Amino acid sequence: MKAKLTMLTWCLAAAGIAQQKVPFRNNIPVAPQGLAGHKLPKLPVEYDTAEGQRIRVVAVTREVEYPWSLVFLPDGSMLLTERAGRLRIIRKGELDPKPIAGAPASFNAGESGLPGAVHGYMDIALHPRFAENGLLYLTYNKAIDEKRRAVALVRAHWDGHALTDVRDIFVLPEGGTSRIAFGRDGMLYMSTTGNNPQDPNTLGGKVLRLRDDGTVPPDNPFAGQAWHRPEVYTLGHRSALALAMHPGTGEMWENENGPNGGDEINILKPGLNYGWPIVSYGRTYPGPWQSDRPRHEGFEPPIVYWVPSIAVSGMAFYTGDKLPKWKGDVFVGSLRTGEIPGTGHLERILFNERMEELRRESLLTDLRQRIRDVRQGPDGLLYLLTDEKEGAVLRIEPAQ
Amino acid sequence: MKAKLTMLTWCLAAAGIAQQKVPFRNNIPVAPQGLAGHKLPKLPVEYDTAEGQRIRVVAVTREVEYPWSLVFLPDGSMLLTERAGRLRIIRKGELDPKPIAGAPASFNAGESGLPGAVHGYMDIALHPRFAENGLLYLTYNKAIDEKRRAVALVRAHWDGHALTDVRDIFVLPEGGTSRIAFGRDGMLYMSTTGNNPQDPNTLGGKVLRLRDDGTVPPDNPFAGQAWHRPEVYTLGHRSALALAMHPGTGEMWENENGPNGGDEINILKPGLNYGWPIVSYGRTYPGPWQSDRPRHEGFEPPIVYWVPSIAVSGMAFYTGDKLPKWKGDVFVGSLRTGEIPGTGHLERILFNERMEELRRESLLTDLRQRIRDVRQGPDGLLYLLTDEKEGAVLRIEPAQ
């Protein structure tokens, strides 16, 4: 999986001042490693934050490896995925040392955050009537044959200890990254990556809308249209790494990674085109702008964007009472900032009542962890997953 | 000078989830104070940085108040301005406790960074032939009468101890903020703030180009055109806080503050329009976008922009050998990030040879100081000014 190394170093005399030599690999500047590999310090730690909310960061567990996604069961237990293809459970604050039995076999390769990485297990979601039917959903990459991978959406029954009735209910034609979330309409939204995000007749770079059994609902925006895949809900996405339903409006929010600049939060509306790769706020990795227009008629603009990129992943609307200064705010994980490893953190975004941004705060910056996911717990606290080999589930509590 | 307080608090039930109440004053969200007032810690401190350059931050002096700008004299001494209207000198690393005599009287009001603030002394620049003629230039705000202020450009002679032959050689019709820098053409470039940045027949929101005696060079882009002020070099600027000549190309670079998002670095070209307030990447402070287009034909786009804003101030091209991993990079001060006081830092931007950005790094974030200016010293090290009441001149050295 290792990309061929072409140390195309430049002696940048063109501009008339000597510059450091920047190594490139496959036309992408090699990421500098001076801040990478920062270990999570001893916890808890406390921080002051902008709104006067002093917080404490606690480790729920430090015994997970590249955790990817998290859900809370009705009894307060947490089910979480590990990228290597394991489903884990934390009961009463204790991580069960054994992975959940019955989970499907996945394909995992490369290093998280590097080109060529394939994530084994990714997102997890509970059926809206999970308390009655015990159904849960996972997205994962599986090997089709020696060379080909595919993202699959699996549905399974949770019996309290293991997965049963495990069945792939939707399989994409290629590997990639995928998030899932149920909407207020009871439908399952599923983000995809891949080729041709502008082509409505393919499944890459889209958000799909599916029934809870993986079939296509007849009221999808392109259902019945020739040369349109009926599963498509929205198109023109680059690399979606969060889907979260706004608890007030019921709209589905999505975030996605731009290239070198141009990460976005979008509000998804049926049949709309979010522009990638035609419109973008970012640059390509070698330097030139991705497009000459960050916005254009016919393409839905983001409601929030980042320049430089912070490599967004995960998103939660905070509706709890335990951190009252943050009530109504949006939290987004950051895997790194400005293309520099070792600069992940948590972003907080404050909106007005029309969903227009008022300000933005970077939190937990000195922990320098890749934050893969952020969720609100039933206890009204915030939970984070660190996308690290020595990964952790962190909890943010009020410190006063 | 205090703005009338209208605590227009919103109960944001519109979106269906309760949100915290955000206080507004004059249609601007009141800045949260939870991180404000951070004291500079004991120095030196050391940091790892992305390119593997370990650095040490040293205090040259901690005895200056709201320092604004800095120049190095041929003998290695530093002359610096303080916002309250004082010119100070540091000789052989020692701050002279007495301000320089002969400097003009200025008008200073409000708190730096808050609406209504008027800076007494601002920028300082040496004549390109300073070694021969001893001429230096300052921008400052002066009182015209009890209500009116004006930005003046003063030229003076430095005799080694005091200013003599002090003369305002150019006076703007209103108060504001101004930076100055000499170009390779020997001309003095002067940024302005104020009303009507799009009107070429006024002096607000422009960069002006003047001779070293304050008169207008006949080859200015609008010289001789009706309804155009002949001093204007570029127009459509919001709040320029740096001018710096690229040491290789000789082009004048400028940075300016966007509103809520949309800080910019621009390369100035004669007669071009940089778009404010018609095109911008940012939002207004109450939330709506400043414009429906971040770029448009007829307006010169920035080469770098920030969303969220970092309140840029000061800019230096690093050409030294002491910090070799940073050679050729651009450094920009940040007064705050994301509209949050207490989040100032230093930004480093790495370009390719075509002046296209490759990546960006935030430095010295945990010092939480407002960085007003950044300069390279004759010793090949970087010098910073902290825009704080207990202000400091900081030096960045290699730590290994």
ipTM of the complex, rounded to two decimals: 0.94
Task: List CB contacts of A307: < 8 A, sequence separation 6 or more.
Answer: A261, A262, A281, A282, B281, B305, B306, B307
Domains of chain B with CATH codes: 40-398 (2.120.10.30)
- Please state, in angstroms and as integers, the Cα–Cα distance from residue A155 to each residue in A135, A164, A187, A361, following that order: 7, 9, 14, 37
What's the token pair of residue A378?
């039933």
Mutate: best of A8, A19, A331, partner B, most B CBs <10 A: A19
Q: For residue A3, is pLDDT > 90? A: no
Q: For residue B59, is pLDDT > 60? A: yes
Question: Mean of the pLDDT values across residues A161-182?
Answer: 97
Q: For residue A332, is pLDDT > 80? A: yes
Q: For residue A100, is pLDDT > 90? A: yes
Q: Answer for the pair B81, B375: CB distance below 8 angstroms, yes or no.
A: no
B150-194 pLDDT, tens digit per residue, is 999 999 999 999 999 999 999 999 999 999 999 999 999 999 999
Q: What is the DSSP string of B42-84?
A: SS-EEE--TTS--EEEEEEEEEESSEEEEEE-TTS-EEEEETT
% of chain B exceeding 70 in pLDDT: 95
Q: Of A331, A155, A183, which is closest to residue A251 (Cα–Cα)?
A: A183
Q: For residue A280, is pLDDT > 60? A: yes
% of chain B exceeding 90 in pLDDT: 91
pLDDT recorded at residue A17: 65
% of chain A exceeding 90 in pLDDT: 92
Q: 0.90 exceeded by the pTM?
A: yes
Mutate: best of A295, A353, A356, A367, partner B, most B CBs <10 A: A353
d(CA B108, CA A103): 69
More confident residue, A13 or A30: A30
Nearest by CB: B362 against A34, A337, A359: A337
Nearest by CB: B353 against A15, A338, A339: A15
Nearest by CB: A15 against B248, B338, B362: B248
What's the token pair of residue B165?
């032959």
- Looking at every residue in chain B, the average pLDDT score rounds to 94
Task: List CB contacts of B83: < 8 A, sequence separation 6 or more.
Answer: B65, B66, B67, B68, B108, B112, B119, B120, B121, B122, B387
Classify residue A212 by burial, with Cβ atoms within 10 Å: 0-12, 13-18, 19+: middle
d(CA A223, CA A211): 13
d(CA B15, CA B370): 35
Cβ-based contacts of B326 with chain A (< 8 Å): 20
Q: For residue B291, is pLDDT > 70? A: yes
* Residue of chain B whose alpha carbon sits nearest to that of A325: B20
Q: What is the DSSP string of B186-210?
A: SPEEEE--SS-TT-TTS-TTEEEEE
Q: For residue B12, is pLDDT > 50? A: no
- Looking at every residue in chain A, the average pLDDT score rounds to 94
Lowest mean pLDDT among A24-33, B15-24, B169-178: B15-24
% of chain A exceeding 70 in pLDDT: 95
pLDDT recorded at residue B111: 86
* Residue of chain A whose alpha carbon sits nearest to that of B285: A358
- Please state, in angstroms and as integers, the Cα–Cα distance from residue B50 to each residue in A59, A363, B47, following that order: 27, 19, 10
pLDDT recorded at residue B18: 67
Residue A113 binned pLDDT confidence (cut-offs 50, 70, 90): confident
Element (H, E) at A371: strand A371-376
d(CA A326, CA A359): 12
Q: Answer for the pair A99, A87: CB distance below 8 angstroms, yes or no.
A: yes
Cβ-based contacts of B329 with chain A (< 8 Å): 19-20
pLDDT recorded at residue A111: 86
pLDDT recorded at residue A133: 98
Question: Mean of the pLDDT values across residues B318-323?
Answer: 97
A217-272 pLDDT, tens digit per residue, is 999 999 999 999 999 999 999 999 999 999 999 999 999 999 999 999 999 999 99
pLDDT recorded at residue B400: 74
* Residue of chain A whose alpha carbon sits nearest to that of B366: A366
d(CA A118, CA A108): 5
- Binary contact (B285, A22; C-beta < 8 A): no
Q: For residue A12, is pLDDT > 60? A: no
d(CA A252, CA A268): 6
Which 306-365 residues of chain B touch chain A by CB within 8 A? 306-308, 317, 319, 324-329, 337-340, 342-343, 350-362, 365
